[in-house]
């Protein structure tokens, strides 16, 4: 399977207005200063790896709190960034550390050019992953007593609460049932 | 400036601890400006905030001058520090309306870490009417940490009625119970 570079998005509304300056500030600057070492993640093209990456991202916050994963589309930046170098990130999970790369930009102008190209192609480069996709990944890991997720839950018990909650998930399939009156009726079991 | 044990300083006006790379950069910036007698080309966020709170300057304009590329300050982290250590200052900065949307969105999110929900929630609720969807989205993330009945009602309303799909999606997740 082919690989791709993923940029985890900070704000879903960063592309809403199509304004480059807003997009640049929201996604690529901190304190008004361009981040010249941009983090990206090299994963394969499967939804499974994308779900894993994003779930692990939200369970690895620097302040040690688990944040309920957000409903954001992320960016496929494959072929847009000028260079990438592997660099272990600070994730609690080995998969994410291995996937972490840094794109070192030579200048703010080079980063701005990158942002402009990405904004221009943003709609075609969105990667959809839902909180439900991530829950399914985490549930599977917990069912297999995955040591990394088990350790994460010891530190952040609300991960389990989130993963086991079915809020936001589609309900059970609607079944056709005989009513006994010769007709069918819909029942949401 | 007061030196800290772990290779750092305490910023004289804000009291924020500045350690590691930030401390080295701040020291270098201060040294250069002192020796040349000029204003530093880069303003650490804590200084910018201090100036802005004092009403002496425009924080948005100053932040846009901080483009030397030598800094590793992070708005999110610094606002997060303010949220936990000096929450009144963070709320004052938000309420002054002097942050550009690209910074205000992160300040609003950081306000989610303020312990006193009674202080943070009214300020964040006010941002849900901001003209920038970026700011409204940041406010939703901040409010997600202060969920009570009133907040959830408002988040559900935003999830249904905001003009921006990204803000709606953010609010839908934030309104859900765990």
Residue-wise pLDDT for A85-103, tens only, equals 888 888 999 999 999 999 9
What is the spatial distance between Cα B9 and Cα A73, in angstroms, rounded to a whole number? 39
Inspect the interface and report whether the beta carbons of B173 and A158 lie closer than 8 Å: no
Close Cβ partners of B91 (under 8 Å, ≥ 6 residues apart): B111, B114, B119, B120, B123
Residue-wise pLDDT for A154-164, tens only, equals 999 999 999 99
Environment class of residue B57 by beta-carbon count within 10 Å: exposed (0-12), middle (13-18) or buried (19+)?
A: middle
Name every chain B residue with its beta carbon within 8 A of the beta carbon of A112.
none
| Alpha-carbon separation of residue A6 from A49, A76, A110, A139, B121 (angstroms) | 11, 5, 19, 23, 34
| CB contact B156 to A (< 8 Å) | no
Give the pLDDT confidence score for residue A35 in this predicted structure: 82
Domain count, chain A: 1
Q: Tell me, what's the ipTM?
A: 0.83
| CB contact A8 to B (< 8 Å) | no
Q: What percent of chain A has pLDDT over 70?
A: 86
| CB contact B82 to A (< 8 Å) | no
| CB contact B110 to A (< 8 Å) | no
Q: Please check whether residue B107 is in contact with residue B67, taking contact to mean a CB–CB distance below 8 angstroms.
A: no
| CB contact A64 to B (< 8 Å) | no
Residue-wise pLDDT for A103-133, tens only, equals 999 988 899 999 999 999 999 999 999 999 9
Q: Which residue has the higher pLDDT, A181 or A44?
A: A44
Inspect the interface and report whether the beta carbons of A13 and B178 lie closer than 8 Å: no
Inspect the interface and report whether the beta carbons of A33 and B103 lie closer than 8 Å: no
Band (B51; pLDDT cuts 50, 70, 90): very low
DSSP state, A168? T
Inspect the interface and report whether the beta carbons of B102 and A63 lie closer than 8 Å: no
Name every chain B residue with its beta carbon within 8 A of the beta carbon of A30.
73-77
First to last CA, chain B: 44
Name every chain A residue with its beta carbon within 8 A of the beta carbon of B134.
11, 13-14, 16, 22, 26
Residue-wise pLDDT for B68-97, tens only, equals 332 323 333 367 777 887 788 788 878 877
What is the spatial distance between Cα A93 and Cα A100, in angstroms, rounded to a whole number? 11
Residue-wise pLDDT for A14-70, tens only, equals 999 999 988 988 898 765 567 889 999 999 999 999 999 999 999 998 778 888 899
A10 Cα to chain B: minimum distance (Å): 9
Band (B117; pLDDT cuts 50, 70, 90): very high
Read off the tokens for A59: 């369970």
pLDDT at residue B13 is higher than 90:
no
């Amino acid at each position: 399977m082919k690989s791709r570079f993923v940029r985890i998005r900070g704000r879903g509304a960063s592309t809403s207005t199509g304004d480059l300056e807003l997009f640049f500030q929201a996604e690529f600057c901190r304190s008004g200063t361009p981040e010249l070492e941009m983090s990206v993640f090299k994963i394969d093209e499967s939804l499974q790896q994308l779900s894993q990456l994003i779930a692990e991202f939200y369970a690895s916050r620097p302040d040690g709190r688990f944040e309920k994963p957000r409903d954001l589309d992320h960016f496929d930046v494959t072929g847009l960034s000028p260079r990438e170098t592997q660099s272990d990130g600070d994730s609690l999970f080995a998969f994410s550390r291995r996937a972490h790369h840094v794109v070192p930009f030579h200048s703010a102008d080079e980063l701005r050019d990158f942002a402009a190209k990405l904004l221009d192609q943003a709609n075609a480069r969105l990667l959809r992953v839902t909180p439900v996709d991530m829950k399914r990944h985490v549930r599977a890991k917990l069912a297999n007593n995955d040591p990394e997720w088990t350790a994460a839950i010891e530190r952040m018990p609300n991960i389990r609460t989130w993963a086991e909650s079915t809020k936001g998930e589609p309900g059970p399939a609607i079944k056709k049932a005989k009513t006994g009156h010769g007709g069918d009726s819909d029942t949401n079991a | 400036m007061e030196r800290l044990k772990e290779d750092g300083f305490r910023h004289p006006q804000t009291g924020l601890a500045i350690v590691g790379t930030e401390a080295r950069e701040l020291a270098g910036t201060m040294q250069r400006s002192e020796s040349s007698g000029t204003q530093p080309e880069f303003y650490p966020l804590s200084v910018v905030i201090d100036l802005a709170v004092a009403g002496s300057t425009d924080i948005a304009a100053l932040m846009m001058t901080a483009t030397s590329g030598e800094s590793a300050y992070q708005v999110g982290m610094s606002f997060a520090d303010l949220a936990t250590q000096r929450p009144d200052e963070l709320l004052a900065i938000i309420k002054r309306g002097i942050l550009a949307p690209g910074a205000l969105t992160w300040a609003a999110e950081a306000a989610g870490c303020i312990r006193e929900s009674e202080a943070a929630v009214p300020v964040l609720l006010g941002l849900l009417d901001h003209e920038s969807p970026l700011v409204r989205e940041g406010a939703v993330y901040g409010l997600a940490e202060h969920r009570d009945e009133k907040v959830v009602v408002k988040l559900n309303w935003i999830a249904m009625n905001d003009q921006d799909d990204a803000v709606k999606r953010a609010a839908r997740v934030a309104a859900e119970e765990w």
